[in-house]
Structure formats: C-alpha cells, structure tokens
Amino acid sequence: MQFSSLFFLFFFLPICLICYFAAKKIQTKNVVLIAFSLVFYAWGCPWWTMIPLLGSTVFNWAIAKAAVKNRGAVAGKIAIGVGVAVNVALLMSFKYVGVFIPGTTDPSAFLPVGMSFYTFQSISYLLDCYWEKSKPQEDFSKFLLYITVFPQMSAGPIVRYGSVEKALSDRRTTAVDLYEGALRAMVGLAKKVIIADSLLPIVDSFFGKDVAGMSVLGTWYVVIVYSLYVYFDFSGYTDVALGLGRVFGFRFDENFRHPFACKTISEFWQRWHISLGSFFRDYLLYLPIGGKVHKYLNLFLVWFCTGMWHGATFNYILWGLYFGAFILLEQQIGKKRLKKWPVVLTHLYSKAVIIIGFGIFYFKDFGQLGQFFLNITGLSLITNGAPIADPVTWSSLTGNLFLVAAAILCSLPILPALKERVQNSNNTLVYTGGRVIASAACVAMLVICCILLASANSAPNLYFAF
C-alpha cells in the first residue's frame, strides 16, 4: 500500500486512527497498530512475502535473547554470528536471486517490499543488544511492532531500537504531536504527488529512450531533474513516515537534512539517507580488519555495500564506489583545506559530482551509461556529432521552468528557516499569522494532492524497490 493513494488517505488511515485512539491501554494500541501494519504491508503484495517478514522477526527476537544470555561465552558469539549471517543471507537470497535466473529483466523482482529496511533494523537490534547499548525486548508483540510499524516499514528510515524502546511500552500523543505530525505528513505527500510525480515524466520522456541522440544541455537538464525527483520521492515518503509516526507517539530520527545545500560530498552523505549512512558507519566502518590499511579497506567495504544495498546491478556498485572515491579524496585533501576553497567553487564541485552520480544511479545498461558520460562531458560533440542544445530540450525546459525552479527552491532550507524564525518570534501576530498561513498552505496542498490522485495514480515510491 502506498501513502500516496486515495484508499490510504480516506479509508485505511482514518479507520486506523479511530481504532487506535479509541483504545485506552498501550497494549491495546500496540495490537491495533500491529494489525493495521500487517494489513498495510500485505495489501497488494504476494501472500508469501509475509513468511520472510514474520519468520525473520521471530528468529531475531529469539536469537537476540540467546546471544545476550550467553554474552562473552562461545555460545553467545556463535549466536550473534549466526544471527547476523542469517539476516544477510536471507536478504541476499531474495535481493540477488534474479541475477541467476535467465530472462529476468529486474534482478530485484523477487525482493519483498521493505526487506532491506527491516533486515537492517534487525541487524542493528542484534548488535546493539549484544554490545549492551539496548536490552533485549522480552515481549514479542512489542518487538513485532518495532519491526512492522507501518509508517516506516516499507521504505524507512532504518529505525534504531534504542530510539523507540520506551515508546513501545509507554507513549502519548499530545495536541502538538497531532498538529505537527499531520502538517509534516501533508508536506511529505505534496513532495511526492505534486513535485516528484510531475518530474518523473520529464525523466522518462528523455532517458526512457536511447540517449545517444541527446544534446549536452539536454543531458544535464534531465539528470538534474532526475536528481530532484529521487530526492522529493524519497524524502517525501520519509516526511509522511515521520509525521504519521509522531501522530502515533513515535519520534523517528531524521533521514534527510536538505542534502543539496551541502558544500562537500562528505557533507552530502551526512544529509542524505542518514539512517543508511549511520548504519554502515556504526556497524561496518570500524570493523578491525586490514591492519594498518584498515581505514581504506573499510571505506571501500562501506561504499561497496552501500551500492550493493541498492540493487543487484553493477551500476549501483559503481555508484557506491564513485562516491566512496570522492569521500577518500576529500579525506586526503583535509577539512581545513576544503574550508579555504571559495564557497561558489565548493558548491559547483559538490553539485556536479552529485548530479553525475545520479546518472550512474539511473542507467543500468552500461552502453547507455557510457553514452551518458560522453553527453555529460561534452565528448559526444566529437564522438557522434551531438548538438550542444536542441529544440526538444528547450521546449521541455521552458514548459517546465516553474516546476523545476520550484523544486530547486524547495530542496533548499529556505522554508525551514522561515518556520524557525516564526516559531522563535516574540511577536504574537507574527507567530499566530505564521502558523495560520502554514496550516492553510498544508491543507491546500492536501486538496491539490487529492485532485491529482483522483485523476491519475501516483507512481510507486522509488525506494520500494530497494
């Protein structure tokens, strides 16, 4: 089931909220959330996808208890090793089985929705319990809720158990939580339906065919649009997840902090898909391997796994290593030297690297990817006589100028800065007026989203495939 559907907005969510807030005890609220979460997950999915979800949940709940009970002993080390290995093997089996089946166009076609996210949550839970960062959950129903709670189970963020441990047993939803959570969810829905779904057709109309005939300007234009599409599609889902989570009394960690406002690639990955980056940082980057060169081996491993996590095609691995190479380059240059660079230069450098990276992310066919590189660098002017610009690109650019400009502005931390100034204002008129305008704008966006969804189905969230 998708957040961006009229069925979810006007049927599933209202019934869920009514049942949830009608329940008085936290145990009953948990049962309601579990039931609706399982329905949310199973809706539109093959019945068998419930087997790995529930099987993985039972296994990880039991193995964590066994590992902690025997912590320090051989049995505990074996238990935690088996737990991590089984999770990784299960994920790889489903995620990469398509690679070995002839005729499979999408290697991830057999991957259950959300498996990458709930598997990583389970691994983080096992290791945090074994490393004494958290205590194992004795109540299976609470652990099941942690894994399956529907706002974040399909496409993240990857939630650490310690951040929601107390909320599983005791949480309350205040009027402020309802208000802020609802507005956050509306903003996320607008990101997805109004912006991302409007940008996607532009990408498909150009990149959906052979890019050999595209101009240099056209290639830059479309890959910038694609970068914006991925951001608004994924961050929009995340905003809805965080907003609904707050409505139900959970405070999920932020997953995006305006990544395109970065000045370096290192900063970009501190702002983009934060839960994935922090997972690899905390559980993989500091593994004691490789002796004196472990820093470089671990860095390679982290970015190789970052690419692999996104899919079984080689472009994702190349994409991960591509960013890893620039991270390493920036480490060699040093933060102090980078800070001395002119601000304009750092922004141009980082945006060029990021935008080209999204081109690698898009093209699974290496022939098309190679042509993309020729186009983006201008070499296609020599190799196949491609034009610098073309009428089709100009027509699309002028016709979608307002949309693209609005997307760029909304990707920057302009509105959050205004919101902060209003919230911190000592002027009652400014504070009240700002809240009223924000509320009215969110309701207006919700109405627009509903109108758009009534006329056409929203495209599935991109990260459902990961």
Residue 110 identity (one-letter amino acid) = F
Say which of 273, 294, 310, 347 is annotated catalytic.
310
Question: Does residue 363 contact residue 372 with C-beta atoms inside 8 Å?
Answer: yes
Q: How long, in residues, is the chain?
A: 466
Reference 299, options 280, 318, 314; nearest CA is: 280
Tell me the C-alpha distance between 324 and 318, whole Å: 10
Read off the tokens for 460: 């599935």
347 is catalytic: no
- Residue 258 — left, alpha, or beta (φ > 0 → left; ψ -120 to 50 → alpha)? left
Tell me the C-alpha distance between 396 and 198, whole Å: 13
Question: Does residue 41 contact residue 53 with C-beta atoms inside 8 Å?
Answer: yes
Four-CA torsion 100, 101, 106, 107, nearest 10 degrees = -30
Tell me the C-alpha distance between 253 and 161, whole Å: 11
Question: Could you check whether the bond before residue 112 is cis, i.e. omega within 30 degrees of 0?
Answer: no
Catalytic residues: 310
